Chains A and B, each alone.
Chain A
Amino acid sequence: MIRIQARTEPSSVMKFASPLIAILLTLIFGSVLFSAIGKDPLQALHVLLIAPLSDSYNIGEMFVKMGPLLLCAVGLAICYRANMWNIGAEGQLLAGALGGSAMALYLIDSDSIFALPLTLIAGIVSGMLWSAIPTFLKLRFNSNLILTTIMFNYIALYLLIWAVHGPLRDPQGFGFPESAMFADATLLPTLFEFSRIHLGIVFAVIAGIIGWFILSKTHLGFQIRVLGADEPAARYAGFNSKKLSWFVMLFAGALAGLAGVGETTGPIGQLVPNVSPGYGYSAIIVAYLGRLHPIGAILAAIFMAILYMGGDLAQIELGIPVAVVSMFQGVLLFFLLACDFFINNRLIFSQQATN
Chain B
Amino acid sequence: MDADLLTQILFAAIKTGTPLLFIALGEVICEKSGILNLGQEGMMLMGAVVGFIAAYSTGSMGLGVLGAVIMGAFMSLIFAVLVLQLGANQVATGLALTIFGTGLSAFIGSSVVGQTLPGFAPIALPVLSNIPFIGDIFFKHDILVYLSFVMTFVLYIVVNKTRLGLTLKAVGENPNAANAIGIKVLQVRYLAIMFGGAMAGISGAYMSLVYTPMWVENMTAGRGWIALALVVFASWRIGRIMLGAYLFGLASIMHLVLQGFGWSISPNLLAMLPYVATVIVMVIISADQFKEKLLAPRSLGKPFDPRNMA
Contact = CB atoms under 8 A, between A and B. Distances in A.
Given A329-B103, A334-B78, A144 B86 contact: no
A76 to B, nearest CB: 11
A282 B102 CA distance: 12
Interface string B95-118: 111111111111100100000000
Interface stretch (B54-62, B131-139, B264-272): B264-272
Contact of B103 (A87, A165, A326, A337): A326
Most chain B CB within a 10 A radius of its CB, from A6, A150, A337, A344: A150
Interface string A146-190: 111011101100110110011000000000000000000000000
B278 A151 contact: yes
Interface string B270-305: 011001101100110011010010000000000000
A284 B289 CA distance: 29
Contacts of B124: none
Interface stretch (A201-209, A237-245, A317-325): A317-325
Contacts of B292: 142
A344 B272 CA distance: 43
Interface string A18-44: 000000000000000000000000000
A155 B272 contact: yes
B216 interface: no
Interface in B212-226: 217, 221-222, 225
Interface in A313-342: 320-321, 323-331, 333-334, 337-338, 340-341
A279 interface: no
B82 interface: yes
Interface in A223-279: none
Contact of A147 (B101, B103, B105, B278): B278
A288 interface: yes
B232 interface: yes
Given A151-B275, A155-B275, A341-B87, A323 B110 contact: yes
Interface size grouping (class) on chain B: 35 or more
B128 interface: no
A338 B268 contact: no
A284 B282 contact: no
B125 interface: no
A341 B86 CA distance: 6
Contacts of A337: 82, 86, 88-89, 92-93, 96
Contacts of A158: 268-269, 271-272, 275
B193 to A, nearest CB: 15
A281 B99 contact: yes
Given A150-B225, A340-B88, A330 B275 contact: no
B92 to A, nearest CB: 6
Nearest to B113: A321
A87 B87 CA distance: 21
B164 to A, nearest CB: 28
Nearest to B292: A142
Given A141-B286, A143-B283, A327-B104, A161 B268 contact: yes
Contact of A324 (B107, B232, B276): B107
Given A155-B275, A158-B271, A330-B101, A323 B222 contact: no
20 contacts: A144-B286, A146-B38, A151-B225, A154-B275, A158-B271, A161-B268, A166-B266, A281-B99, A284-B95, A323-B107, A323-B217, A324-B107, A325-B103, A330-B104, A333-B99, A337-B82, A337-B86, A337-B89, A341-B86, A344-B87
Interface of A: 4, 6, 85, 87, 137, 141-144, 146-148, 150-152, 154-155, 158-159, 161-162, 165-166, 281-282, 284-285, 288, 320-321, 323-331, 333-334, 337-338, 340-341, 344
Given A147-B229, A281-B99, 13 more contacts: A85-B91, A142-B287, A144-B232, A144-B282, A148-B279, A151-B278, A158-B275, A162-B268, A285-B99, A320-B107, A324-B107, A329-B99, A330-B101
